[in-house]
Amino acid sequence: MRSGEAEGKDRDKALLEAALFLAPKPLSRGELVAILGDVSSAYVDGLLNEFQQELTAPDRGIELHLEERKALLQVKRRYIDAVAHLAPHQDIPRPVLRSLAMIAYNHPMTQAHLVKARGNKAYGHVQELIERGLIRAEEHGRTLLLHVTDEFLRTFDLSNVEEFRFHIEPPSSEKLRPEEEKAAEKNASTSDDNGTPSDNGSPEEGVGAIID
């Protein structure tokens, strides 16, 4: 490889590393091609493979994860416990985290059901979790249907939401029985669930889940 080509490749690899470091989500081959400019997907694949191999060295604390033609930089598992407190979302208040745990366990879950179990403060919890990108909401009749996002899975190092359910068993007090689900839906149909109804109590204790 000629000197100019080597320098160009080093620059591209450095740019690729910078992009992956700053990206809040996995980047696709197409996105990386657009960032590098005027290169082929095969060229990007070559850079990713080289970079991934370099990061396997024992003196590197991060690794490159490649899945479904997407790339993501992540901390190596053996170092996670020592640095986890520095990760995003570590400042989530405990009540909000409990609501997030319940949404994840019942995924997808309506906002009406969440409020039935967690009280009216859950409206604010939902808004904060949406702003953080940990859940998304879609219209569902007069209420909202809540889904966890890829950001939630990355934050808690999960492959999918089923993996979360496998490890967590919430207290029965926060599981909605079928008749309670019907009642919650009935209540939602008589009031706008995107607003704040009268306060019927807001339990502070519930799903220990991802916070204990």
CATH code, 15: 1.10.10.10
Residues 126 and 63 in one domain: no
Q: What is the pTM of this model?
A: 0.49
Last residue of a domain, one of 43, 68, 86: 86
Last residue of a domain, one of 32, 56, 86: 86
Query: Tokens at residue 30, please?
Result: 């197409």
Residues 55 and 128 in one domain: no
Strands 109-110 and 70-75: unpaired
Rounded distance between C-alpha atoms, residue 17 and residue 60, angstroms: 14
Residues 144 and 178 in one domain: yes
> ω into residue 88 within 30 of 0, thus cis?
no
Residues 80 and 29 in one domain: yes
CA-based nearest residue to 74, from 24, 148, 34, 29: 24
Residues 154 and 81 in one domain: no
How many secondary structure helices (H) and strands (E) does the chain include? 10, 6
* 7-11, 74-78, 84-88, 126-130, range with the lowest pLDDT: 84-88
Residue 26 is classified by DSSP as -
* Residue 184, pLDDT above cutoff 80: no
Strand order in the sheet with 135-140: 109-110, 143-148, 135-140
Residues 123 and 72 in one domain: no
Last residue of a domain, one of 86, 106, 134: 86
Residues 99 and 46 in one domain: no
Instruction: Report, as an integer, the average pLDDT of 170-174.
Output: 47
Looking at residue 93, its pLDDT comes to 86
The size of the chain, in residues, is 212
Phi and psi at residue 28, to the nearest 5°: -80, 165
Its domain, for residue 80, covers 3-86
* 48-57, 59-68, 83-92, range with the lowest pLDDT: 83-92
CB 199 within 8 A of CB 120: yes
> In degrees, to the nearest 5, what angle opens at C-alpha 108 toward C-alphas 107 and 112?
110
